[in-house]
Structure formats: structure tokens, C-alpha cells
Structure 1
């Protein structure tokens, strides 16, 4: 353990996404003073379906009362049915074998976020809305931010300010531009009223059972989930798109444009899209960045977490989970290092997290290509080939226990090799 100080560690966290909220909650659990800055003036109920694997599910379950609040709003299907773009049934993937790994939580991003937000307030996190960070700074002994022209100083800054992170500039020394992944997603969250009116889609709005169906085609996949006793539906359509990400990252989507992405597909897919109410559809360009050479600032007082450090493709099904793991690991490292050894804690956080994150990022590409680049003659003969890889090393993982277990050896290795840099090979 680090040396004890009369003054608690002061942690400044930027961005109230899942990574920032997790870091804030875990730091409060360890007795730190925590200020969480959020640029928006209110907590916004944005988004559609988001998935948390059992590796992050165990984090939710460690927060008293949170699991009980999440259960009624989350998706509880026992499997995913795969079909071809012309509606031929391929196979069903079930999740029963993962029961020993823990519990998954899938649901509306805004609703899950609200539960986590309220828990952060309950444990004493000082959340400051309408506080857009204008500048980051650090010295050998402190780090801070300029917010609304006010200079606020702490011992360390954890920057979870998203895919367009300002903090990345101080870490890298230059502005890192996003680039197109070559794909975009039409995505929607909607009531099932429209589905119920059409005989071809009414079966999806099942009040007795949550459903999850995926239609696969050449370079496109379409996932549909219904939940909350058949009253809510989320669909996601991933397709090729070479749009300039500087022009549009996320914008309103249009039903006719979404249908153009799957012109020759089964009528049921068109019917689901046409049931989407006006204003419920988003056109989301998937931006991508090469792995950063480092996540930490030159004086080792500022660390990137979440999408600021490592944007994930949604086909990894791990972006939010890995952001939460970042928050937990950073808190453990700061606890074990103590107030006098923050730079060492920040280096240990990076070395513990970087290889795992990089390996998990790769699954976003391999999962996507397994569907999008598939030979459908082969798929029809070998339908099990489309099942998602569900890997023990990703999902059956306790990031908190791991951080405690490897912290000391990680610090010793960094002392022995002070010039260590991450392997960024994706």
C-alpha cells in the first residue's frame, strides 16, 4: 500500500459516461475526494440498446441496489436466432453455458446510465453539470482542468471525454483525427406499437418473452431485440459507409435511407424499419482510431479512460464493459500507490489495461468480418459458423481482483524498465 496521508487523494474525472461514472464510484468507495465534470447541462436520456458482458456485470452487482434496479429494464432473452437476409433460419445461439461467468445486462443506454448516475450521487460523487473542460494542465505534483474559466486542481485527472477527447491532445502532444471505419449503423429504440399492427412483425412484441433475432447478409447485419414485456424494441443495422466522419458522426436517420441499405432483403426486415416512429432513428458513423502510443500524459498525472483511450467497434460487444474495467483498475492502482505515488499508479494502470484492451479491440474486427465477409453458400451448409465467439478470457474476468493481484509485480517491472511502452500492434 502507498503511504498514508492526512489529505485524501483528490481525483478529477472528466466525462460522465460509463467509464467516468465507474471511476468516480470506485474512487469514492476508496475514500477519495471526487469531482466529476460533465459538459452537458443535464443528464440526457439518450441512446438505444447497449450491452454489458458478465465481466462488467460483476461491477454492477458489486454496487448495492444497482442489480435490482437494472433487472426490470434489461433484456432477458435466452438466445439469439440467426437468419439469412432472405429469412432462412440458420441456428440459435444460447447463453446458458456462460451462467458460471456471471450476469449480462443489456438494455436502453439512457435507462441504465440513469441507474449508475443515481448510484454515483448516493455514494457522494460531486457531479458538476454544464462544465465543459476548456483545458487540461499538469505539474510534477498536481493536475487539473480549466472549466468555465475556473482553474480546478487535483492530484490526478482521469479523462473519459469520449471519442473526440480534448485530453488526448495533451497526452499525445498533437491532435489525433478520427477516421472512418468504412461502416455506419442505423439504430433505433422505439415502442412496439407499430410492430403490433403488422401481422408479419406482431410476434416480436411478445409480452411473455424477450426476443433477439439477427439477419445476416453480404457486408450487412441487422439485429432486433424486444424487451420490457414486449413494449420496447431496439434494432441496429450495420452497413458499408465511406462518409467523411468530420462531416457527420451521429445524425438523424431516415427510414427510406435505411431500407436502401438492404434493398433485396426479406420483407419482414423492411417492415421492422418502417415501423420506426419519426425521430427515433439515428445514423451513426463508426469512427476508428489506430491504437494510441500511450494513454498517459508526460508528467503522468493525466490518464485517458474509455473511448478517449480506445474506441471500440460495436461488434466487439465490449466497448462499455472495457470502459468500466478502466475505471475500476485506475481506482485500485491509485489506492495501492497512495497520494505520494500517483505517477506510478498511472503507469501501472496503463500497463495492466493496455494488452487486454488491445486484444479485445481486435474482436470487433474479427466478429464483424465473420458475418460481413461470410460466404453464404458455406453459411447455409454450416450455420453454426455464424455464432458469436464467447471467450472465457474476455467475459469470465474480474478486473478488480486482477488489478490487486498484479499491481506490485507491474510496478516492479516498470521500475526495472522505466522506458516501457505499450505494444500498439492491432
Structure 2
């Protein structure tokens, strides 16, 4: 006779329509309630882990402008029915156009890559993924879902140190007021200023100033007063419009929806930028950063000049070289998002990579189980490093591409900021499930392993920020990255 299965089946745990996996016994402490931290908490809860969130601020930050998030981010959105409905209401599908300085189109209008006819099937198919959202809206959407699931968030906790105790099997986040917070794994999702490098890299790792900054503007169209060109545009607006302006050492992205206006201008820093949402500059300071401002599209100028008081952040663009180690020696502290891999805005995928991290890490922890948290975080790191490093690299290449005269950028009918199907056909949850055992065998036994979440045929190469900045200084653009492997759409 065969053996008898004596497994005791538990009732399904369904909260707010979300089906929870069986409990793993893993306690996950998430430090930082930005987008990456909040989705990490949600996915870890769904995968059966116990979760707690710590946030430095007194509440969730509602600062920020718009972000692009493709199908690779939303592979699990349908697992949260209430949040799914909300997401469908707060995201946008803008039409894109590259413009000359005066606002005239340099290309025909087009849609996001994953929406084009005849391209590869994206990761969240058949969902129609509207790829633009506002950081505030997405953050509040994730926060509301955390609250509906009963995930606790403790505000006003400034973590200044991370540690782990292999003998006890716990990791600790140390607050500046002496409080200690522990978990089986601590996730450092606290951004570019994280103090977690002391335990992952053995020393603090400072971000390097790139010499550029981004003026970030986003506000309600209700604030438009003396803006005849913008109001005329809004009167006939049927679909949100996104415009890219390029130039020597400067580019601007201009987004208009029925309810919001956003401008993002990247230019050389004159020393007034900072890494703070609390430090503001005036519309006059932004306008002065635009060369020949009287020749610019009047709608952009109106958008800048109508910005409410205190509504412009001049954000210093800082960077760290690709960092192949995101975990502590015993694997109980792991970095995600900007704490692990800061990206330039021109990568177009900064928030997306943090959210992919969240989905991947939760699944790796489920597969590793409480007895093998250390392997789980290191598998996650192995699965993610090359992909995020390549997208970091792409940010520099993209910036070099668009910091040229517009006629050069669009020569031959080219459309700048090409990503490729390898980005938006990737499903980080499925990839973690499929590659987990092979990756663990590579870490534990040296078995062969190759990541396949890169462009097909791509030969991964390490690189440095210093090398890329030298290329920028030359003033000559050569596409030396997107010819390595298949960056196509089909």
C-alpha cells in the first residue's frame, strides 16, 4: 500500500478578495514606505509572510510627479481586486511625440512600445496596461491596500543601522532613538540615503553627484490662470499628451492630462539642487535654465510660470556604480530599489525596477522558506543584479542620445528612448519561480547558471559611471549598448 497523505488542509485565507498563500512563518520587516517598500509588504503578505513596515516620515510621502510603469510591474495587480479597480481609474495612456523647441512635432505621434501593433505579447497580457501614473496616486493606492490587509505601519522611525545575528537567525533595524526592530529578514527599501551599505558592502557607500539636476513640476490644471495656449490645448484634449524636447545637455518631458500638468526638465546643476522634496525653486529659476526661453513652446513656459508657490523641486541627480552585492553575509538584510540600484530618470524604469524587486523577493522567500531565508535573498540578488545593472547603464546611454539637437535625435525616422521587449515581457514572479532552484544550485554548489531576463544573446559586461561620464564629455553619441543582443519589439 502507498503512504497516506496526512496533510491537514487549512481554510482559504481571503482578505479584501486577496487569496493568501499558506503561512511561511517568515517575519519580514520592511524599512521604507515608498513604492518599492509598500509593494514588497503587499507581495510578502500575499505569499504568506508576516509583515511590518517602518517609515521615517510622519506619513506616506505624497511628493513626486509622474512615472512610467509597464506590464512587467503589473503582473500581480489582478491578485488584488479592489486595488485593481482603483489602478484602472488612476493610470493614463498618453500619446507620445518628440518636439522641436518651439513645440512643433519632429516625429509622428505614437504609443508605448508594448501597445504597438504586431509586437511581442507583454507580461500582463491580456490586461491593457496604461503605462503612466502619478507617484502620489500609486503610493496611496498601495497604502490603502496595505491598510485593508491589516499590514502594520509604524511612522516616525529613522533607521540608522542594520545588523544580523546568524546564531539567533534574526536581523535588526536600529532606530536613532534607541528602538530595535527585528525580523527573520529586514528589507532596506529606504532609498539612496539608506544606511544599509554598512552591512551589505562593509562600509558606507556615498552617492556621486552626476552634475545634473531635474526640475520637477506637477500640479492640478485648476491652477492654470494666465495660460491661453495650455487652456486651448485642454479644451480639445481627448487623450493625454506626452512630449519630449531634446537639446545639448538638456531635455524636457511635458505631460498634459485633463486634470494635471507635469514638466520634468533635466539640465546642468548650477549648485542650487538638493536631494529633498522640501527644497523648492521658483518658476523664474526654472525658466532661466532653458536656453533661448523665448523660442520654447509657449505651453511649456505657461506650465512653468503657473506653478503654485512651493511646487517646483530641483532634484540633484546622484548615482552609485552598479553594486553586485545587495545582501548581508548571512542574507538576512537585503536591499531593494534605490538602496540597491539607483537609476537616472532617463532609464525610464527606476520605479519599475524597485517594484520588480518587490515581486521577485516575496516569491524567493516563499520558495526558500523560513529555514533558508539566507539562500532566498541571495537567489533574489543573483536573479536581479544583471538586469538592473543593464537598465542603469541604459539610463546613461539614453541621456547621451537625447542630449543632442532634435534633428539629430530623430534622423532617419528614429524614435529615441527605445527599450525593447526584454523589459516589458518579463514576469518577475514567474522568473523567480522558474529559476530559483537553478540559481540556488549555482550559489551552493557552483552549478552553471545564466540569467535569461536580459535581451536574448546579450553578453553582460560590467561598467562604471566614470566611463559613461567620459563618453558624455566627448559630445559624440554612439549606440554602443543596444546593439548587444536582441533589443527588438517582436
Give the Cα–Cα distance (whole angstroms) in 1 for the partners of residues 181 and 405 of structure 2: 56
Residues 1:35 and 2:84 are matched in the alignment: no
Q: Which has the larger displacement, 297-306 or 188-197? A: 188-197
Aligned to 1:312: 343
Aligned to 2:178: 149
* Residue correspondence of structure 1 range 365-384 to structure 2 within 5 A: 365-372=396-403, 374-379=404-409, 381-382=411-412, 384=413
Contact 1:192–1:205 (8 Å) recurs in 2: no
Structure (1/2) with the larger strand percentage: 1
Cα deviation for residue 381 of structure 1 reads 4.8
Which of 250, 260, 263 is the aligned partner of 2:288?
260
Cα deviation for residue 393 of structure 1 reads 0.4
Aligned to 2:100: 84
CA displacement 1:14-39 (0-9 Å, x = unmatched):
10111111111111112111111111
Cα deviation for residue 96 of structure 1 reads 6.3
SS at match of 1:56: coil
TM-score when normalising by structure 1: 0.90
Cα deviation for residue 45 of structure 1 reads 1.9
Cα deviation for residue 317 of structure 1 reads 1.2
Aligned to 1:224: 254
Which of 463, 466, 480 is the aligned partner of 1:425?
463
* Residue correspondence of structure 1 range 29-178 to structure 2 within 5 A: 29-77=46-94, 79-95=95-111, 98-99=114-115, 100-101=121-122, 102=124, 103-140=129-166, 141-147=169-175, 148-178=177-207
TM-score when normalising by structure 2: 0.79
Give the Cα–Cα distance (whole angstroms) in 2 for the partners of residues 366 and 423 of structure 1: 15
SS at match of 2:44: helix
Cα deviation for residue 53 of structure 1 reads 1.6
CA displacement 1:211-239 (0-9 Å, x = unmatched):
22222222211111122xx1211111111
Cα deviation for residue 315 of structure 1 reads 0.9
Give the Cα–Cα distance (whole angstroms) in 2 for the partners of residues 408 and 118 of structure 1: 34
Cα deviation for residue 202 of structure 1 reads 1.9
Give the Cα–Cα distance (whole angstroms) in 1 for the partners of residues 89 and 265 of structure 2: 26
SS at match of 1:208: coil
Q: Which runs of 5+ in 1 are unaligned?
A: none
Contact 1:168–1:175 (8 Å) recurs in 2: yes
Cα deviation for residue 376 of structure 1 reads 4.3
Which of 364, 374, 380 is the aligned partner of 2:395?
364
Give the Cα–Cα distance (whole angstroms) in 2 for the partners of residues 86 and 210 of structure 1: 20
Structure (1/2) with the larger helix percentage: 1
Give the Cα–Cα distance (whole angstroms) in 1 for the partners of residues 430 and 330 of structure 2: 28
Cα deviation for residue 241 of structure 1 reads 1.8
Cα deviation for residue 205 of structure 1 reads 2.3
Give the Cα–Cα distance (whole angstroms) in 2 for the partners of residues 323 and 385 of structure 1: 29
For these two proteins, the number of residue pairs brought into alignment is 414
SS at match of 1:136: strand
Give the Cα–Cα distance (whole angstroms) in 2 for the partners of residues 377 and 28 of structure 1: 50
Aligned to 2:243: 213
Contact 2:101–2:297 (8 Å) recurs in 1: no
Contact 2:36–2:189 (8 Å) recurs in 1: yes
Give the Cα–Cα distance (whole angstroms) in 2 for the partners of residues 271 and 285 of structure 1: 24
Residues 1:285 and 2:316 are matched in the alignment: yes
Give the Cα–Cα distance (whole angstroms) in 1 for the partners of residues 392 and 133 of structure 2: 22
- Compared with structure 1, are the counterparts of its residues 132 and 87 closer, same or farther at alpha carbon in structure 2 (3 Å cutoff)? same
Contact 2:245–2:406 (8 Å) recurs in 1: no
Contact 2:210–2:318 (8 Å) recurs in 1: yes
Residues 1:404 and 2:433 are matched in the alignment: yes
The RMSD of aligned alpha carbons is 2.4
Aligned to 1:25: 42
Contact 2:34–2:189 (8 Å) recurs in 1: yes
Q: Which runs of 5+ in 2 are unaligned?
A: 1-21, 116-120, 450-459, 465-490
SS at match of 2:330: coil
Give the Cα–Cα distance (whole angstroms) in 1 for the partners of residues 329 and 461 of structure 2: 18
Give the Cα–Cα distance (whole angstroms) in 1 for the partners of residues 109 and 210 of structure 2: 27
The structure, 1 or 2, with the larger RCO (C-alpha pairs under 8 Å, 6+ apart) is: 1
Cα deviation for residue 270 of structure 1 reads 2.3
